[in-house]
Every structure is written in structure tokens, then in C-alpha cells.
A = this chain, B = another copy of it.
Amino acid sequence: SKDWMVVDIHHIERTFKFKNFKEALEFTNKVGALAEEEGHHPDIHLSWGRVKLIIYTHKIDGLSEADFVLAAKVEKLL
């Protein structure tokens, strides 16, 4: 999907496709560097040619503004 989905009013998620494992791993590292900068870390499901990001705020077990800030910054990595 090219859009973020809101799931169970609990988290947002989006799957990014890549042409191989290497490119998916490179994207994972970019997201990881961004997460460290932001101090806000998504769950990252990396598999061959695919990265699924699941973003929510663990402290409240739900969505907060920081989640959408992170999602917007992820967009800029593409």
C-alpha cells in the first residue's frame, strides 16, 4: 500500500516494497537512524524485498502526535 493505515485506532502501519533484500535492509538502516534522531522507534518487519513499519507510542499503548511526525519523516527517506 502507498498509504499508512490506522489499525484498531492503536497504531499506524505501512509496507514498503523493494527489489531485493539488500535494498530493504538499507531502508531499515535509514529508518533506524531517523528513529534514533527522533527518539521514537517503530517496529520494523524486514523480509525479502519488504519492510513493514508499525508505529505507535508504547507509553500510552496508542497513537500520539510523535507517531505522525515520525511517519512524515519516513516519507522523506524514500
Contact = CB atoms under 8 A, between A and B. Distances in A.
Given A21-B32, A21-B36, A25-B29, A46 B47 contact: no
Given A28-B28, A29-B29, A41 B35 contact: no
A45 interface: yes
B45 A43 contact: yes
Interface size class of A (residues with CB under 8 A): 10 to 19
A58 B28 CA distance: 21
Interface of A: 21-22, 25, 28-29, 32, 35-36, 41-48, 58
17 contacts: A21-B32, A21-B41, A22-B36, A25-B28, A25-B32, A28-B28, A32-B46, A41-B47, A42-B47, A43-B46, A43-B47, A44-B45, A44-B46, A44-B47, A45-B45, A45-B46, A48-B58
